[in-house]
Chains A and B, each alone.
Chain A
Amino acid sequence: MNKFGGRLSWIGLAMAGKKSPWGGASSGGESPPEDDTEGTDDAANAPERPAPDRPSRAEGQSGPRNPWLPPASPERKRPSNIEDLFRRRGGGGGGGPIPSFNLPQRPGGGSWVPVGVGLVILLWLGTSMVHRIAPQEKGIVTTFGAYSSTLSSGVTFTLPWPIQSVTVKDVTSIRRDSIPEGEGEKLMLTSDQNLVDLTYLVRWNIKDLKLYTFQLAEPDQTVREVAEASMRQSIGEVTLNDAMGSGRATIEQNVRERMQQVLDAYRSGVKIQGVEIKKTDPPAKVVDAFKDVLAAQQDAQSEVNRAEAWAQQLTARAEGESTAFDKVYNQYKLAPEVTRRRMYYETMERVLSQTDKVIMEAPGVVPYLPLPQMKSSAPVPAPTQGR
Chain B
Amino acid sequence: MEQIWDTYRNTIIVAAVALIALLSCLTVVGETEQAVIVRLGEPNRVVNRFRPNADFGQTGAGIVLTLPFIEQVVRIDKRVLDVDLERQQVTSADQRRLEVDAYARFRVIDPVKMYETAGSVEKVAEQLQPILNSVLRQELGKRTFASLLTADRGQAMINIRKGLDKEAREYGSQVIDVRIKRADLPDGAPLESAFTRMASARQQEAATVRAKGLKNAQIIRAQAEANAAKTYAASFGQDPQFYDFYRAMQSYDVTFAQKGSNTSLVLSPDNAYLKQFQGK
Residues of A within 8 A of B (CB): 1, 4, 111, 142-149, 187-191, 193-195, 210-211, 213-218, 221-222, 225-226, 228-229, 232-233, 236-237, 240, 262, 265-266, 282-283, 285-286, 288-290, 292-293, 295-297, 299-304, 306-308, 310-312, 314-315, 317-319, 321-323, 325-326, 328-329, 332, 336, 340, 343-345, 347-348, 350-361, 367, 369, 374, 377-378, 382, 385, 387
Contacts and interface: CB of A to CB of B under 8 A. Distances in A.
Given A311-B221, A356-B265, 6 more contacts: A142-B30, A146-B57, A236-B153, A300-B213, A356-B264, A361-B269
B267 A217 contact: no
B228 A217 contact: no
A177 to B, nearest CB: 14
B146 interface: yes
A119 to B, nearest CB: 18
A229 to B, nearest CB: 4
A314 B228 contact: yes
The 5 closest A-B pairs by CB, nearest first: A300-B213, A311-B224, A322-B235, A307-B217, A318-B228
B134 interface: no
Interface string B210-225: 1011101110110111
Interface in B147-204: 149-151, 153, 176-177, 179-185, 191, 194-195, 197-203
Interface-central residue, B191, B209, B218, B266, by most chain A CB under 10 Å:
B209
Contact of A355 (B28, B153, B263): B263
Contacts of A292: 202-203, 206
Contact of A282 (B2, B78, B81, B198): B198
Given A147-B57, A214-B32, A296-B210, A358 B149 contact: no
A189 B183 contact: yes
Interface of B: 1-3, 6, 28-32, 56-57, 59-63, 77-82, 103, 105, 145-146, 149-151, 153, 176-177, 179-185, 191, 194-195, 197-203, 205-210, 212-214, 216-218, 220-221, 223-225, 227-229, 231-232, 234-236, 238-239, 242-243, 245-246, 249, 252-269, 272-274
A343 B273 contact: no
A193 B220 contact: no
Contacts of B272: 344
Nearest to B216: A304
Contact of B268 (A300, A340, A360, A387): A360
B56 A232 contact: no
A387 B250 CA distance: 11
A217 B79 contact: yes
12 contacts: A147-B61, A148-B57, A189-B183, A195-B194, A229-B179, A237-B151, A262-B177, A303-B210, A307-B220, A347-B249, A360-B268, A374-B262
A321 B232 contact: yes
B261 to A, nearest CB: 5
Given A286-B195, A348-B273, A318 B81 contact: no
A303 B259 contact: no
Contacts of A302: 213
A343 B59 contact: no
A220 to B, nearest CB: 12
A303 B218 CA distance: 9
Nearest to A328: B246
Contacts of B254: 385, 387
Contacts of B199: 285-286, 288-289
Given A1-B6, A286-B202, A329 B239 contact: yes
A336 to B, nearest CB: 8
A145 B29 contact: yes
Contact of A296 (B1, B179, B209, B234): B209
Contacts of B197: 193-194
A273 to B, nearest CB: 21
Given A145-B61, A282-B198, A351 B253 contact: yes
A382 B269 contact: no
B205 A293 contact: yes
Contacts of A213: 31-32
A225 to B, nearest CB: 6
Nearest to A297: B209
Contacts of A352: 265, 273
A78 B28 CA distance: 54
Contacts of A147: 31, 56-57, 61
Contact of B236 (A215, A229, A325): A325
Given A146-B61, A286-B195, A356-B264, A314 B225 contact: yes
Nearest to B176: A266
B177 A359 contact: no
A377 B261 CA distance: 12
A329 B238 contact: yes
Given A296-B206, A354-B258, A377-B262, A217 B81 contact: yes
Given A189-B183, A225-B179, A215 B80 contact: yes
A385 B29 contact: no
Given A217-B79, A300-B210, A146 B62 contact: yes
B61 A191 contact: no
Contacts of B6: 1
A229 B2 contact: no
Contacts of A146: 29-31, 57, 59-62
A249 B242 CA distance: 68
A175 B259 CA distance: 86
B149 A289 contact: no
A301 B62 contact: no
